[in-house]
Amino acid sequence: MNFQPYTREAVADLLRGHDITPTHQRIEIAFVLFEKREHLCADQIFALVNARHAETSKATVYNTLKLFLDKRLVRELIVDPSKVFYDPNTTPHHHFYDVDSGELTDIPADSVRVEGLPALPPGVVAEGVDVIVRTRRAS
Amino acid sequence: MNFQPYTREAVADLLRGHDITPTHQRIEIAFVLFEKREHLCADQIFALVNARHAETSKATVYNTLKLFLDKRLVRELIVDPSKVFYDPNTTPHHHFYDVDSGELTDIPADSVRVEGLPALPPGVVAEGVDVIVRTRRAS
DNA sequence: CCGGTGAGTTAGACAAAGTCCAATTCTTGT
DNA sequence: ACAAGAATTGGACTTTGTCTAACTCACCGG
Ligand SMILES: [Mn+2]
Ligand SMILES: [Mn+2]
Ligand SMILES: [Zn+2]
Ligand SMILES: [Zn+2]
């Protein structure tokens, strides 16, 4: 599911494929995320979706992002202390995070190897391994 | 500076070593962090410092944590979408993060190798590499 | 001592991100 | 077309963190 759905119908199909009933609001939100393929936070999505005409409430943006997360249509990035970013790329990959600008850049997973991690405590299972390289402008 | 300062005087010395004027409030906050050596968030620190007698305001807790961060006495962990954790261990290491319980556990850095990271964009320098293994209770 | 100066602390107002709820509006199946 | 459940909504609310102007305290020179 790493394609670029250009039309609303393609987005609706993508949603159905993830067991999400495609409503007008959900289609617009998914369209914004998959059109840009950028790391966006809730209020950017809210602004983009409502740029032309007011169509979607704040509550629905948050409800929908939580649903997308649950259905594995997007993934959550916790790197900024004040807001969550949503990543339309759910394939394993890592990130550069520029602490000055707040900019997030993808690092493809295939080149990176993380070795020597200790065994997990019993009764616990790994959900994912995130590598975040914090960067800043050279002194 | 990975020792356990048991006395207020030892904490004061630790602060002076980091160019921090040791005030009563700063000593109490550092004492709580270095006594427990746990990952604590601001309001836990606020509660612990004020457990016996009210001694320190919310503003001072936040001011002080920012100062400690700046002076590299503690490090910040961005892992929970709703609050920042402060880590008294500033030596390089990584973390397990249990998404169910919110619990953070250290992973010593020496065993872990991260290989194959791409070169940094020009004009940018790495500040650190964080590896976070998200875990949850087995199905 | 004592008064001045600057650093540190404080209460409380404020801001931003996110949650919750009851009322309303869609969607879907029949 | 209709009923029933699902989704959406405005707005109140909560939580985390920031800001500011007043106050306090430690320290120093006289
Ligand atoms: Mn808390
Ligand atoms: Mn917040
Ligand atoms: Zn990404
Ligand atoms: Zn740690």
Q: What number of other Cβ atoms are within 10 A of residue A95's Cβ?
A: 20
pLDDT at A117 over 80: yes
Supply the pTM of this predicted model. Answer: 0.91
pLDDT at A131 over 80: yes
| DSSP secondary structure letter of residue B121 | P
Nearest nucleotide from residue B23 CA, by C1' atom: C8
pLDDT score, position A48: 96
Query: Strand D: which nucleotides have any atom within 7 A of a protein Cβ?
Result: 6-12, 15-20, 26
Q: Give per-residue pLDDT as tens, A5-45.
A: 678 889 999 999 999 999 999 999 999 999 988 999 999 99
Using DSSP's 3-state secondary structure scheme, residue B119 falls into coil
What's the CATH number where A35 sits?
A: 1.10.10.10
pLDDT score, position B3: 59
Same domain, B12 and B78: yes
Q: Which two tokens stand for residue A49?
A: 């979706």
Q: Give per-residue pLDDT as tens, A68-109.
A: 999 999 999 999 999 999 999 999 999 999 998 899 999 999
Between CA B12 and CA A110 the distance in angstroms is 47
Same domain, A60 and A121: no
pLDDT score, position A97: 96
Domain that holds residue A56: 8-86
Exposed/middle/buried for residue B24 (C-beta within 10 Å: 0-12, 13-18, 19+):
exposed
pLDDT score, position A2: 55
Same domain, A71 and A97: no
Same domain, A35 and A64: yes
Same domain, B33 and B71: yes
Query: Residues A44, A104: contact at Cβ < 8 Å?
Result: no
Per CB-CB distance under 8 Å, the chain B contacts of A121 are 96, 105, 135
Residue finishing a domain among B86, B103, B131? B86
pLDDT score, position A139: 75
Q: How confident is the model at residue A126 (pLDDT cuts 50, 70, 90)?
A: very high
Of A81, A113, A125, the CB nearest to B135: A125
In a domain, B62, yes or no: yes
pLDDT score, position B55: 87
pLDDT score, position A55: 87
Cβ of A21 near strand C (under 7 Å)? The reply is: yes
Using DSSP's 3-state secondary structure scheme, residue B25 falls into helix
Residue closest to A132 by CA, chosen among B4, B5, B130, B63: B130
pLDDT score, position A13: 93
3-state SS record for A85-105: EEECCCCCEEEEEECCCCCEE
Count of the separate structural domains present in chain B: 2
Residues of chain B under the 50 pLDDT cut: none
Between CA B99 and CA B96 the distance in angstroms is 9
Pairing of strands B93-98, B124-137: parallel
In a domain, A2, yes or no: no
